Chain A
Amino acid sequence: MTATIRTRMGDGHAVALSRDDLRRDLVDGSQEAARRAKIPVLDGADIDHLAEIFAYPGRIAGVEPGHEVVLTKDGCANTLYGGQMSSGVGIPLAREQGVRLMERAFGFDTMEIGHPDYSFKPAKPLVALEQLCMAQAQLDCVVPLFYGAMPNMGLYFRPDGPFANPADLLPDGRIEEARAAQLEAAARLRDDILYVSRAMDEVGADGIDIDTTASAGDAEFLATLQAVEELATHTDLAIEVGMATELVLGFHGELDYKGRRLAGLWPHQQLAVVEQAGAHLFGPAITTKTNKSVPWNVARACTFVKECSRVAEIPIHANVGMGVGGVPTVEVQPNDVVTRVGVALVEIGRADGL
């Protein structure tokens, strides 16, 4: 038995922890999540299992047989042909080739096609081209294909969009104007999500993944929920809502969805409104703290995800990527910790997919 456990910090730096330090970090991380979201801490058996996952000496960790879950890929081929600034590896290939690689070489169970800019707003004027790509990919693939994009409501504010920027208005004390601008942007965003999603539905997309939701706060979340409600009612699309954040920020502050205030919602509470809107999959996103160890971050993420899984009526597909879910914030992900994050979120967080 080794005296120390090699792991990493949330910024990717290698670090060696004693067994006592490892256990302390696991307990502290879980307690921090529980205190913030007022949810249960991980129990002793969970902490023991997490300690085993991190103490296992192999470089790569995997779930026990029978615990395998659905793996999906956001952005999909973007990760192959995108540059490093987009977390890609810069391989010159077309999206259609990338999708086939993801399915046939890497074994993903579902995936999505997305515009290189990966937001609904820039996808809208090119939606006819996006439809062609989706239609061709549907012919090429067996796995279910989503169309994926981010609401990214920041693109609707000046200088990128037509509406006054709340980040300029709020520091001037123009609170009512800042709130009004967010509502205008949210209405336009909702329309764009619907426009692109309906176009994808027309060409046979299996689903729509609304990814990194609420990055611009509660108004963006509201626009997404309204779009989800409309799509769930009038299309057969499978709808995934992936979150941008563990806490919905109240850049507006007074918005509600069917009586539930959106600002300040933690993952299990976000799930409740996402379910209410009619979505079929939920992707909680737990922020990684770079100055804490990966075990601390993973225990924290598992505490949030386990509570989601406990109360969920729809599958939970936890976000695992740079800076979320306990994965370090570093461009090239070290397999030693990423695989442990995956195992932990499935076996402790009870996630249905990643």
Chain B
Amino acid sequence: MPDQFTQLREVVIIGDGEAAKRLTAEMLEVGVAPREILEAALLPGMDVVGARMRSGECFIPEVLLSARTMQGALELLKPHLAEGESAGLGTVVIGTVEGDLHDIGKNLVAMMLEGAGFGVVNLGTSVTPERFVAAVKEHRPVILGMSALLTTTLPKMRETIGALREAGLRDSVKVMAGGAPVTLSYAEELGADGYSANAAMAVETAKGLIRKA
């Protein structure tokens, strides 16, 4: 019979939320360290899900089920983590830039980042550069994610990065840009640190950025 770490990893992969909660509770009860549960079972499970999505073996509904499963288990872990200890990979502040009300893709990215172990502060749509800056000051995220669907709102990404710089916060946070009209070259031109073409790759990009940091 597989050990509990393997079992928990497997139920994250298949998106069985109830089983994940039961296993997590049992492991906590017998004294397994919450950090070990996170790093040896939950996060590796989501890594498998991400890899399968990239190879076309699993798709958004399954990824979301796994993300929800991961979230349920994380909720059980949080009270057991030491004060000040992050329940995951750090915080991401995310929003759609000013003038743009499109949020389907941005919300998918937010859910998948949460599922991968990031804490997510979702600012919603039409977020002004000033609100992004205020959220970075308040939440001290490791990553700021900006989304845009309209080509007319793309310049707001540049303005937001400028506002971060003016506030002296640019070096404290990695910036990711995404959305249908955004390309890698545009993101680089903006001065963003990361770009991804889809929600699954956004998770990989975010993990890559915090590894570099």
Residues in chain A within 8 A of chain B (CB atoms): 36, 167-168, 170-173, 175, 178-179, 217, 247, 249-254, 263-264, 266
CB < 8 Å neighbour of A36 from B56, B59, B108 = B56
Residues of A within 8 A of B59 (CB): 217, 249-251, 253, 263-264
A252 touches B61 (CB 8 A): yes
The 6 A-B pairs of least Cβ separation, nearest first, read: A250-B59, A171-B107, A253-B61, A253-B62, A171-B104, A253-B59
A170 to B199, CA, bound (A): 13
**Cross-chain pairs A/B with CB under 8 angstroms, 29 sampled:** A36-B55, A36-B56, A167-B104, A170-B64, A170-B108, A171-B103, A171-B104, A171-B105, A171-B107, A171-B108, A172-B107, A173-B68, A175-B64, A175-B68, A178-B61, A179-B61, A247-B56, A250-B59, A250-B61, A251-B59, A252-B61, A253-B58, A253-B59, A253-B60, A253-B61, A254-B61, A254-B62, A263-B58, A264-B57
Residues of A within 8 A of B68 (CB): 173, 175
B46 at the interface (CB under 8 A from A): no
Q: Which residue in chain A gives the minimum CB-CB distance to B107?
A: A171
Q: Which residue in chain B gives the minimum CB-CB distance to A182?
A: B61
A311 to B59, CA, bound (A): 27
A59 to B105, CA, bound (A): 43
Q: Which residue in chain A gives the minimum CB-CB distance to B55?
A: A36
A254 to B64, CA, bound (A): 13
- A36-B56, A173-B68 are known contacts. Are A251 and B61 too (CB-CB below 8 A)? yes
Residues of A within 8 A of B89 (CB): none
Interface SS majority for chain A: loop
Residues of A within 8 A of B60 (CB): 170, 250-251, 253
Residues of A within 8 A of B108 (CB): 170-171
A254 to B59, CA, bound (A): 10
Residues of A within 8 A of B61 (CB): 170, 175, 178-179, 250-254
B65 at the interface (CB under 8 A from A): yes
B136 at the interface (CB under 8 A from A): no
CB distance from A116 to the nearest CB of B (A): 28
CB < 8 Å neighbour of B64 from A36, A173, A247, A266 = A173
The CB with the most chain B CB atoms within 10 A, among A179, A264, A266, is that of: A264
* Contacts A173-B64, A175-B61, A264-B57 known; 6 new A-B pairs at CB < 8 A: A36-B56, A167-B104, A173-B68, A175-B64, A175-B68, A250-B61
CB distance from A260 to the nearest CB of B (A): 14
The CB with the most chain A CB atoms within 10 A, among B55, B64, B65, B105, is that of: B64
Residues of B within 8 A of A249 (CB): 59
A253 to B58, CA, bound (A): 7
A247 to B111, CA, bound (A): 24
CB distance from A263 to the nearest CB of B (A): 6
Interface string of B50-94 (1 = CB under 8 A from A): 000001111111101100100000000000000000000000000
The CB with the most chain A CB atoms within 10 A, among B57, B59, B62, is that of: B59
CB distance from A10 to the nearest CB of B (A): 15
B62 touches A250 (CB 8 A): yes
A322 to B105, CA, bound (A): 26
Residues of B within 8 A of A175 (CB): 61, 64-65, 68
Residues of B within 8 A of A172 (CB): 107
CB distance from A91 to the nearest CB of B (A): 33
Residues of A within 8 A of B104 (CB): 167-168, 171
Residues of B within 8 A of A170 (CB): 60-61, 64, 108
